[in-house]
Structures are given as C-alpha cells and as structure tokens.
Structure 1
C-alpha cells in the first residue's frame, strides 16, 4: 500500500540502535477485545482540498503533518525501477529533500512538532530499514534479528510506531522508544499479522491487522483494543491519529472502491478528495484536524497519484 532530493543534509554515519529490551504485550480477549469501533457514520466536517504535486513526477504521497502544517512524504514516477525520494514540505510548494544517506529509496512518513521525522529506506541490498531523523542526524532503526523494518508514525515523546516482517513475511507491530533504543512488541489474538501505524502523545496506538483473511483497523487505547471496521467495508486500515481523539485511514467498500475516513468516539466520516472519489487514502492528521493523503490510481496499485491537504 505504501511505497517508498538531494542536498540539505550533511552526510553523517547513521547509528543502528539494537534492542536493549523487548516487552511483549499480548492483548487478551474478553470485554476489551469485544469492543468495536463501527457504531455509526457521520457527515459533520466539510474539508477544503488542495492538490500538491512534486514538479516533474507523476507520483506524490503526503503521509504526515505536524501542528505547524509541515508535511512528510515522498515522490517518484510510480514506475518499476524508478527510485522514490523522501521530502519535507512547507506549503504551498517548498520541498526539502530527505533521503537516508546511501539509500536507494526513502519514504518519509511521520513528522512531529519538533521537526523529527520517521520512515523507512531501502539499502543497496534491497533491505528495508526504519529510520528517524532530527536536524542533520539520521538513526537506523531495526528490530533485532530481523531484515525488514518500517517506521510509520511518531509522537512528540520520542516514540515511533512501526513493524517488522518475519521469515514468513508476516508483520509484527512494535513501538520504538528512541531514548534507550527499546522496542515493545505487540500481538493481537488470532491475527496473522499486525502493523502499528501511529502513536500519539498519550501513547494511544493505531494500526491494522489481518484475521481470517480480512484486514481490520485498530485503536489501542490505554490497554483496551478497539477494532475499527468501517460499516459494510471489506477492509479497513487505521493509518494515523492525533491528540484530540481522531483517527484517519482508509477502507474498501463492497464495490472495491477505496475511501478515506475520519473516526472519533465510535463514529466515522467518509472522506474523498473531490478529484479522487473512490480512490482516496488519508494517512495523517494533526491536532487542528488538517488531513493529508493521496488519491488516484496508486491507491489501488496504479502508477500515478496526487497528494492532497484537507483543511476543515
């Protein structure tokens, strides 16, 4: 679903932070598991949409936004073999390249209020690694003993959400504590895979998991697991959240069309960019309720897409 220019950073050796401690949290069944987030659909907020594209490329994804409106993302051609490059964007069109040193591809996904970013890159051996970056310093982030890692979001408390793949290519969710390099791994009962996609400042985690051949979103709220399943959807993914109770993501309807959603307190609002109805994905939201994402054929595996900002 997510894929992965050149100056502005000083080349500096990245430091790999190996796990100093693994905390395994198993989310048990019972009332916590039974609580569901698919209680209703609302249509409360009207958004003003702005399309954003990196000049000269056909593929732009906006993936994270902080409270200052600075945006993380990446651009490319969408074509096989064409490397995708990360950026940080100040609207309307000031793109600053952000690429892990010596990487072949970089995707910047999360950005916090201090300008710290997180994402993943692909090295010359085609291996995926997570990373964080503050000012000019990059840090490689890999769960010990694994060869595929991606960080998908971060908060203002030095924590990042992500996952690793095992040898069977099943995903395992984790939270990375930047102070100390500690990972906390999370499992969901009966799920074949799970991905942590976002974490807010109070430690609420959103993401998605596969169970019985169906993909569900989730919100882990202080020990209670809320399953997010957009009404009548065939697939739901929670991809980002803020500090005021809103979760964003994407769902697939019974016709196979892809829509964005905003969730809060048990209710959903379906959100499509007017230029991308049925092919919209929302990946990030800040505390002001501004959303970012992308629309177009790439939402369902195509090679072109446009980034967007939605302002309430």
Structure 2
C-alpha cells in the first residue's frame, strides 16, 4: 500500500483544520479554528467538495451557536455534528438541505451546576442512523445510536467498560468507537452481538477507532510508548493494521473518516505547530 497525501486547509483559518468524515462522492465534513474563542479562533464547521479548492468550502454552523463542528455525513446529504452555546454546553445536531435539528438524548443526566453538558453526534450512515455519546456527572461517556427516522435512541454498551464513545456507523449498523481502560483507551467494532476490541498495531499504548466503512475497514489513531500519535487503517477481514503517518507530520497524525472508495480524512500537526486537514488515498476495498 502506497498512500498518497493531500493537505486541505480552509483559508479562513490556515492554522487549524480538522477533516472528520468523507462520503463516497468525496464530500468532506470538518471545521476550522482551535476552539480558543477568547482569542478569535472558535470552531466553525464546513463541508468541502471536489475538486477541493477554496471556493468549494461551504460554511455550516448551527444557528446562534458559538462553535460548531461538522463531524460526519452520509451519501444522502445528511450531515451530523455538535454545537456549543454561550454557556459552553454541547449539543448534537443533524442537518439536511439547510434545515438543522437539535439532538438531545433524553437518557443523558443533567450535569451539576456550573458544569457544561456534553452531548455530541459523531457519525451518520445511509440508513439515517446517527451515533454519538453523552458524558455523565462522573466523567464517563455513554455511546448511543439515534434513528433519525423515528427519533429512537439505543445505548451502545461494551461489556466490562464504564466509559464508551461511539464514533462511527456503517450501512450494516456496525458501530466503531473506543472505551476507557484505566488511563488508556481501546478501540472497538461491534454489531450489537459480537464485539471486537481493537488494540492497534504492535507498540500501540492507547487506541481510538474513529471511522468505519461498509467493508468494516476501521480508521483511527494510536499513541506509541514515546507519546507520538499515528493514524491507522484496520481491515476486519484480514485483521491487518496499516500505520498512516502524513509525511509532513511532526509527531501527530489522526485518521478520522473513511469512505468506500479508498479515501481517508483526518489531520496532522505540522512542524510550524499548525493543525492541517489531510486527505489520503489508499487502495479501495475489493468488494465495493
């Protein structure tokens, strides 16, 4: 595998871009801005379409939000993400044809006074089922799926773990994400009946699974013993891991999204200290 890499940064803030999802048409979900609101760098969401010029970025921000991240999208024009209000509270959202819908899991407990609530949507599939999580008062995450057609929430539980973050879902309903295991994290891929823990390639200390396609190819990141962060691609059929490091990266590459055409998206830290959006082309899966 000889991946090719392309850096994609919105000129609105070339110091900080993260690309978080990509569909089969090559449309990308992401955001610019480090989140430092006080110094004029709030998260601002966007989508990006081929041929990926500055004129193909389209801003997408939840109405009246202070910050927005567009985290995922499907092949039917639905995007998902989360937004932050003036109090620092996080809420999920979905958007279709310019219409935004706020998402609040009714199972999420109310946070303690003065503590911001955290609820985020991180992905959506072509059957219009979204995934995300909320954080409880103890700081544990609870993953869930949300059927956008009927508004039904289902918990994503991984046996033996108290903190579960659901990050991505494919057309079959297979969910990827990560669990907290002591001070570190382990990735997972679950279909509701069988769960596979993803511990990363040799040398991985902590693993997050962040994206999955219809062939159960999983992408994410892992931290090594030296504290460097690497992207990875895991093929569930062969059980093989491929490390993905952007050639311009300085100690951090994260792969966040994958489509069914051999395209990955994410971000890396460059030598100037900026965070850059990243598009990677690998060989597409054999069965797509």
The two structures have a TM-score, normalised by structure 2, of: 0.88
By how many angstroms is 1:140 displaced?
0.7
Structure 1 residue corresponding to 2:207, chosen from 236, 256, 271: 236
Maintained 8 Å contact 1:161/1:176: yes
Tell me the residue number matched to 2:31: 74
| 1:252 and 2:223 matched | yes
CA contact (8 A) 1:259 1:277 kept: no
Structure 2 partner of 1:49: 5
Give CA-to-partner distance per residue, 1:194-217, whole Å, 9 cap, x none.
Answer: 100000000100000002322000
When residues 102 and 80 of structure 1 are mapped into structure 2, their CA distance, relative to the original with a 3 A threshold, is closer
Residue 304 of structure 1: how far off its partner (Å): 2.6
- Is 1:111 equivalent to 2:67 in the alignment? no
Higher RCO by CA contacts (8 Å cutoff, separation 6 or greater)? 1
Q: Tell whether the 8 Å contact from 1:237 to 1:250 is kept in structure 2 after alignment.
A: yes
TM-score normalised by length of structure 1: 0.81
Say whether the 8 Å CA contact 1:78–1:304 is kept in structure 2. no
Q: Deviations over 1:134-183 (max 9, x none)?
A: 10111111111443210011100010110001112210010011111111
Name segments (4+ residues, structure 1) moved above 4 Å.
Answer: none
Do structure 1's residue 60 and structure 2's residue 17 form an aligned pair? Answer: yes
In structure 1, the residue matched to 2:177 is 207
Q: Residue 277 and residue 126 in structure 1: after superposition, are their counterparts in 2 closer, same or farther (change >3 A)?
A: closer
Question: Among 88, 99, 102, which residue is 2:64 paired with?
Answer: 102
* Structure 2 residue 253 is the aligned partner of structure 1 residue 280: yes
Query: Alpha carbon RMSD of aligned pairs, Å?
Result: 1.7
Question: Structure 2: 5+ residue runs without aligned partners?
Answer: 110-116, 283-288
Q: Distance in 1 between matches of 2:59 and 2:248?
A: 27
Q: 1:198 aligns with which of 159, 165, 168?
A: 168
Give 1:304's match in structure 2, choosing from 264, 269, 274.
274
Q: Give the distance between the partners of 2:73 and 2:58, measured in 1 at CA.
A: 13
- The match for 2:82 is 120
